[in-house]
Structure 1
Amino acid sequence: MSPVPKRVLVVRGGWKGYAPARVAGSLIAFLQGHGYVVAVSNDLDVFTHAVLMARTDLIVQCWTTGSPTYDQIAGLRDAVEAGAGYVGWHKGIVDSFGNSPTYLQLTGARYVAQSSNIHRHSIACDQASRDREIIADLPAQVAVVDNQFWVLSDAYNDVLATTTIPARAGDPWSDPVTVPAIWTRRWGAGRVFGCAPGHYAPTLEIPEIRTIVERGLLWASR
């Protein structure tokens, strides 16, 4: 008997400036190459389809901003609690659905500010993290050309990599601030993977970031 293929739901939409179809599409071929059956939705109502969500092994979200309904968020959260993985990057996960405390508790991170422009900075990988297989064998410092995000987080996250935001003349903060850049989180029987870098396709093509995201997809999957 042939094994039942794993199923991925890619949910994309929201603000068009981040080209959600193109960015999410860049990883669909990778998932198909690993034997996943991929479904794509441009409608958050897909989260309310209980039968579909129950048989989904991995949810990949690329949806910036938005005001989902209570039922949509409940459907997403129930699926993750039951064992579906949940993965996103950049504003497709940390600037999604900010008006929903339930969603923020699920993802464990919230974007509050970003650098004024895309610039070269580094993220520091923490090889002592619990889920360090996602960053195994990567350099201690990974150079990124992207927005630098100020992300609020909580102690339940396993932070795999951080970035440090400097304090410059005129800034209202007086010391450098180190915040999560890549993290994982358990929720019920499910796993959550978040990656702040990923503004546009070139960022996801940086070899180290690509490796981290691909490993994150496989790690999070049921």
Structure 2
Amino acid sequence: MTTHTRRALVVRGGWNGHQPVTISDGFLPFLKEQGFAVETSEDLAVYEDAERLAATDLIVHCWTMGTITPEQRENLSAAVRAGTGLAGWHGGIVDCFHDHGYHLLTGGKFVMHPPGYHDHTYNFLPERADHPVIAGLDDFSVHTEQYWVLTDPRIDVLATTTFPAAEPHDGPAVMPAVWTRTWGAGRVFVSTIGHKPDDFEVPQVRTLTERGLLWASR
């Protein structure tokens, strides 16, 4: 019988095109198997409960677009600074709350993606090959959205994806795609991969996401 020693809170909602409930539901059994007592919330008001956030070991944030209040954002930021982990994927973590300084916490924000889905490759950084999130994984390709992001220089990039030369750029652009960072005593994991459920059927995507959740947790 699994003994729950840690608490996870999955906050999900916003624009439904990213299927936040369906995709996050796919990770609930994994978290429970890893010993987490898991709660879900589909209301950002949960971020107004500072004590609840402080008692949580991992927040999985799956909320696209929408608006966060300064109080909610500061409570979330304070919890992470004190040791609560924060993790998420794709638009659920970097295409939300383009106000009130939320992206100072995540270390990156979504700007655009080329129209539709196309095949593209993700490359792990050789110098980070021993990082527990990506150790032993090989580069891989996915047929999905490719995110162009703006990032904080103080992130630890684990994987990149390359955009080919196209107007208005005169050469290819190598873009951070998977990264971690610390925020005070807390850890943050971000993957830009995961627009649709079958993206997580790619073994590397599933594995690095699961490992990222565990890495971020207190």
Tell me the TM-score range normalised by the shorter chain.
over 0.9
Which residue is equivalent to 1:155? 153
Deviation at 1:146, TM superposition (A): 1.2
Match of 2:165 in 1: 167
* Cα distance in 2, alignment partners of residues 25 and 34 from structure 1: 15
Aligned partners of 1:16 and 1:88: how far apart in 2? 16
- Residue 34 of structure 1 corresponds to 34
Q: Counterpart in 2 of 1:74? A: 74
Q: Would you say the 8 A contact 1:104–1:110 is kept in 2?
A: yes
- Is the partner of 2:24 in helix, strand or coil? helix
Number of aligned positions between the proteins: 217
Partner of 2:199: 203
Task: For 1:7 and 1:148, locate their aligned partners in 2 and report how far apart those are by CA, in whole Å.
Answer: 32
State the match for 2:114 in structure 1.
Answer: 115
Measure, in 2, the Cα distance between the counterparts of 1:131 and 1:55.
Answer: 31
Q: CA 1:43 to 1:18, structure 2 compared with 1: closer, same or farther past 3 Å?
A: same
Percentage of identical aligned residues: 46
Does 2:83 match 1:87? no
Question: Contact conserved, 1:127 with 1:136, CA < 8 A, in 2?
Answer: no
Q: Find the residue that maps to 1:132 and give its secondary structure.
A: coil
What is the aligned partner in structure 2 of residue 10 from structure 1?
Answer: 10
- CA shift, 1:98, in A, is 1.1
Change (3 A) 1:38 1:131: farther
**Whole-Å separation in 2 of the counterparts to 1:78 and 1:130:** 31
Does the 8 Å CA contact 1:81/1:190 hold for their aligned counterparts?
yes
Q: Give 1:157's aligned amino acid.
A: I
Does 1:24 pair with 2:20?
no
1:142 matched to 2:140: yes
Mapped contact 1:58–1:85 kept (Cα < 8 A): yes
Letter of the 1:163 counterpart: T
Report the alpha carbon displacement of residue 129 of structure 1 after superposing the two structures with TM: 2.5
| Deviation of 1:15 (Å) | 0.2
Separation in 2 of the partners of 1:39 and 1:152?
A: 31
Partner of 2:99: 99
Relative to structure 1, is the Cα distance of residues 130 and 188 closer, same or farther in structure 2, using a 3 angstrom cutoff? Answer: farther
Distance 2:6 2:91 in 1: 26
Q: Deviations over 1:19-77 (max 9, x none)?
A: 11001111011000111000100011101112211110000011000111111101110
Q: Does 1:190 align with 2:189?
A: no
- The reply on whether 1:64 has 2:64 as its aligned counterpart is yes
- Per-residue CA deviations over 1:113-151 (Å, capped at 9, x if unaligned) read 101111111011013128722111111x21112101111
Q: Where in structure 1 do 4 or more consecutive aligned residues deviate above 6 Å?
A: none
TM-score, L = length of structure 1: 0.94
Match of 2:208 in 1: 212
TM-superposed CA distance for 1:4, in Å, is 6.3
Contact 1:130 1:158 in 2 (8 A): no
For 1:133, the equivalent position in structure 2 comes to: 132
Counterpart Cα distance in 2 of 1:112 and 1:131: 30
TM-score by length of 2: 0.96
Tell me the distance in 2 between the aligned counterparts of 1:152 and 1:18: 20
Q: Unaligned 5+ residue runs, structure 1?
A: none
Q: Aligned partners of 1:56 and 1:39: how far apart in 2?
A: 10
Distance in 2 between the 1:75 and 1:131 partners? 33
